[in-house]
Amino acid sequence: MTRCTKLLVKKINHMRNKIKILWLLFSVTLIIQFVGNLLYFVVFNETHIVQLVYGVTKITMLASPILFYFAGFKLPRFNLKHNISLSLIYGVITGLIMSGLILAIYFIFQPFFGQFAPNILIKIADFGILKYYWPAAIVISVLHSFFEEYYWRWYAVCGLSTKMANLNSILLGNFFFTLHHYIILSQFVPFYIAFLFGTCVGFGGVIWSHIYKRTGSLLGSWISHTLVDLCLFTIGYLLLN
């Protein structure tokens, strides 16, 4: 084996090892939000600790895709401007349909859901946003939905799609997306309801993933996600009042 061949083999092995390490670390990042939610919803209840863990979780999630992108992890170009008209149509229509279904379920079973209002009040107080409910609701709905689309649809699903078929990457990515919602919902309602609604969130993630794949932009899924989150905050307000 010539010196050049040895160097080439060494370089290839180095690249393979780098890819394996990146994939291992990438896999770990898919459970960051689940672990974070477990800590600040279940383990801790002191407001300052909850806010600290929440902040660390979000910063880690924000930084991970950026670090992986510059480390050479294959991700598509981040885009909000591609197919704007189609994105608006998909986003508004799916967002309104899902919100309508959620509101219909709430009003049909309103007496049943009313018993869980104290649980919602406790968690809102833990986060320290009770006095600023609607400003917080709007900011969280707009920014947090964008954050989750950035992380789950662009980073997680697209990252997985470099190793598997699109459908498989969508299903697996949204499985991880669903996990932390089971934790969140279980703080307010019995687990069987949390499991049912959490799984519905997973289906919503699949829809948002298809919107992203169809348009090549996060705009549509972001709009749809924002409308759904605003709907959920509206229900929270109705329950508290």
Is there a domain that residue 63 lies in? no
Which tokens sit at 77? 């170009």
| Alpha helix ranges (H) inside the chain | 3-29, 32-37, 47-70, 84-108, 110-114, 117-127, 133-139, 145-148, 158-161, 166-186, 191-215, 219-240
Is there a domain that residue 67 lies in? no
Query: What is the sign of the dihedral through the CA atoms of 238, 198, 169 and 11?
Result: positive
Which tokens sit at 236? 């929270």
Closest by CA to 39, choosing from 149, 184, 202, is 184
Average pLDDT (136-158) is 94
Tell me: the pLDDT tens digits for 179-218? 999 998 998 889 999 999 999 999 999 999 999 999 999 9
Of 3-7, 28-32, 189-193, 211-215, give the lowest mean pLDDT range.
3-7
Is there a domain that residue 32 lies in? no
| Alpha helix ranges (H) inside 142-165 | 145-148, 158-161
Is there a domain that residue 138 lies in? yes
Average pLDDT over all residues of the chain: 88
Is there a domain that residue 3 lies in? no
Confidence of residue 14 (pLDDT cuts 50, 70, 90): low
Average pLDDT (163-176) is 94
Domain with 213, as residue range(s), is 79-240
The total number of structural domains that make up the chain = 1
Average pLDDT (129-138) is 86
Is there a domain that residue 2 lies in? no
Closest by CA to 144, choosing from 235, 26, 61, is 61
